[in-house]
Amino acid sequence: MTQERISLEPAFLLHQLPYRESSALIDFFTHHHGRIRVLAKGVRSVAGRKARYGGVLQPFQPLLLSWGGRGELPLLYGVEVAGFLAPLVGNHLISGFYLNELLLRMTHRHEPHSDLFGSYHATMVALRQPRALAWLLRLFERDLLAECGYAIDFNLPGERSAALQADALFCCRQQQGIVPLAAESHCDGVALQGKTLMALASGRYEAADAATVLPQAKQLLRYLLSFYLGDKPLQSRALLQQQRPRSLT
Amino acid sequence: MIIERLIERLRIMPGIGPKSAQRIAYYLLDRNRHGAIQLADALVEAMQQIKYCDRCRTYSEVERCAICCDQGRDVTRLCIVETPADQIALEQVTGFRGYYFVLLGRLSPLDGVGPEAIGLDRLQQRLQEGEVEEVIIATNPTAEGEATAHYISEMVHQHALKVTRIAHGIPMGGELEFIDPTTLNHAFNRRVTVERFNR
């Protein structure tokens, strides 16, 4: 719970809920205070009155936030732009909603996640660059799992790092981690190759491996996330899938 | 009892708290009982009889709204708006003579509002009828409005039709210094050529 007033804290807007006539309840992801919800007065326009912070209070833009007040619901005092990022368009925009939905579903309020904030900020910048969208999402999912205490353990038991041969097969099971998969045995979790694990550990992959690494990483992270997200489907993921058969998430 | 119930009921209106509700209730009892009865009748009538137009989804007391019934309009152009209020705003100032499609919302994945909730299946049918040549997307320039515009434009492109998006830029009377960066960036990057004025 926030007691004092916080000034000019780096933050991103995650989601707005209309509240009363011209106010909103806004979820922000902040650098040092994790996810917070504040009451923002007068931020929606009503007849004759313009909305406060009109074009500034937008998702996917780095902001500087000031808020404070006692109790469960602090009050928003000010919003400033902290550097400008071009508006997200098309599937990158819907991917932005996907990242926000993940943060809203996976993090708890008032739990600081400084590293994850860095990762989110970097992802927001990268979403404006001509880079492979799917891989950006995978790396953020990796960081999110790690930050929430469900890190993928890339140190494998048994033969240790030597076992991480690019073509060796592994099996990942919910809550049991990743184990080498013996030839011809069955994996009831997600089967994947060493090169995918190496790519996720290092954040990069060889262009020639894209056809293996990308689908395997997607399957692995979706499998791991599904355990923590529960049965309720992610709306933004559904939207990305409906959009186009060409697989993006 | 009755008076408390009236005050409580008045509070369903936007921006009306307990104090305002009480003020309205006493005003109507003191000064305008006849007007209040007419209001009550109008409310019942409207709430029971106003439905959605079967073609454009705007509010209508008949199956098809007046604009959709107007045969004189241009069937090749279809303008997509979020709300009936947006439709009226455009209708009043643009001189647009095509037809409208009202979404009654916008795509908002984080609120669970998907394509069906905003009638995009209906829009799909409309496009399949084959009369529309240009779709003008007039959703709001918010993240959700842009996502909606993107989704619809993909849909329209599948029918190989022309898609346009309303421009956004500096509002009349605005000052560049105080304009938010996104708007300013957009207005600058999408600047338009100034034609020579010929008399």
Task: Mark yes or no for CB contact A55/B179 under 8 Å.
Answer: yes
Of B123, B181, B166, B142, the closest CA to residue A93 belongs to: B142
Q: Which of B114, B180, B186 sits opposite A56 (nearest CB)?
A: B180
Q: Which ipTM was obtained for this model?
A: 0.81
Say yes or no: B88 and B155 in one domain. Answer: yes
B43 and B94: one domain?
no
Q: Which phi and psi (to 5°) does residue B180 adopt?
A: -65, 150
Token pair of B174 as six digits: 């605005």
**Statement: residue A243 has pLDDT above 80:** no
Same domain, B114 and B30: no
Give the CATH number of the domain where residue B87 resides. Answer: 3.40.1360.10
Model confidence over A9-39: pLDDT tens digits? 999 999 999 988 889 999 999 999 999 999 9
Within 8 A of B150 by CB-CB distance, chain A residues are 89-91, 93-94
Identify whether the C-beta of residue B182 lies closer than 8 Å to the C-beta of residue B173.
no
B64: in domain: no
Which residues fall within 8 angstroms of residue A33, CB to CB, at 6 or more apart?
A2, A6, A9, A110, A112
Predicted pLDDT at B61: 93
Residue B37 covered by a domain: yes
Better-scored residue on pLDDT, A227 or A125: A125
- pLDDT score, position A130: 83
Check CB contact of B115 with chain A, cutoff 8 Å: yes
CB atoms A100 and B110 under 8 Å? yes
Q: Tokens representing B11?
A: 């509070």
| pLDDT reading at A193 higher than 80 | yes
Report the alpha-carbon distance of residue A216 to residue A189 in Å, rounded. Answer: 12
Q: What is the mean pLDDT of residues B161-168?
A: 94
Q: What is the pTM of this model?
A: 0.86
Give residues with Cβ within 8 angstroms of A193, minimum separation 6: A166, A167, A168, A169, A170, A212, A216
Beta partners for residue B190, in sequence order: none
The pLDDT-based confidence of A241 (bands split at 50, 70, 90) is: confident
Residue B148 lies in a domain: yes
For residue B19, name the pLDDT band (cuts at 50, 70, 90).
very high
- pLDDT score, position A247: 36
The residue written with tokens 């904030």 in the block is A117
**For chain A, what is the radius of gyration of the CA atoms?**
20
Distance from CA of A150 to the nearest CA of B (A): 24
- Does the residue B162 lie in any domain? yes
Do B182 and B85 share a domain, yes or no? Answer: yes
Q: Which stretch of DSSP H or E encloses residue A75?
A: strand A75-81
Are the CB atoms for A6 and A68 separated by under 8 Å?
A: yes
Q: How confident is the model at residue A249 (pLDDT cuts 50, 70, 90)?
A: very low
Instruction: Please report which confidence band the pLDDT of residue A119 belongs to, taking 50, 70 and 90 as the band edges.
Output: very high
**pLDDT exceeds 80 at position A164:** no
Residue located via tokens 């049965």: A231
Q: Is residue B43 part of a domain?
A: yes
Size of interface A-B (CB pairs under 8 A): 76
User: Residue A162 pLDDT > 80, yes or no?
Assistant: no
Chain A residues with CB under 8 Å of B83 CB are none
Does some domain include residue B58? no
- The span from the CA of B69 to the CA of A52, in Å, is 40
- Give CA separation, B185 vs B118, B128, B190, in Å: 30, 36, 8
Q: Which residues of A touch B (CB under 8 A)?
A: 14-15, 17, 20-21, 46, 54-56, 58-61, 81, 84, 86-91, 93-94, 96-98, 100-101, 104, 234-236, 238-239, 242-244
Q: Which of A140, A247, A152, A135 is nearest to A190 (CA)?
A: A152
Interface test with A, best of B20, B83, B110, B158 (most A CBs within 10 A): B110
Q: Which domain holds residue B13?
A: 2-49
Sorted by where each starts, the structural domains of chain A and their CATH numbers stand as 2-81 (2.40.50.140), 90-241 (1.20.1440.120)
Closest CA to A193 of A171, A223, A161, A225: A171
Is the per-residue pLDDT at A245 higher than 50?
Answer: no
Our count of domains for chain B comes to: 2
User: Average per-residue pLDDT in chain B?
Assistant: 93
The pLDDT-based confidence of B11 (bands split at 50, 70, 90) is very high
- Which amino acid, A65? L
Is residue B68 predicted with pLDDT exceeding 80?
A: yes
pLDDT at A246: 39
CATH of the domain at B39: 1.10.8.420
What share of chain B in percent tops pLDDT 70? 99
Q: Residue A44 carries which DSSP code?
A: S
Mean pLDDT within A77-100: 92
Domain for residue B199, yes or no?
no
Mean pLDDT of chain A: 87
What value does the mean pLDDT take over residues A159-165?
Answer: 60
Q: Are residues B83 and B153 in the same domain?
A: yes
Whether the pLDDT of residue A47 is over 80: the answer is no
Give the 3-state secondary structure of residue A140.
helix
As a whole number, mean pLDDT of residues B141-148 equals: 93
Is the pLDDT assigned to residue A163 strictly greater than 60? no
Best of B142, B155, B180 to substitute, by most chain A Cβ atoms within 10 angstroms, is: B180
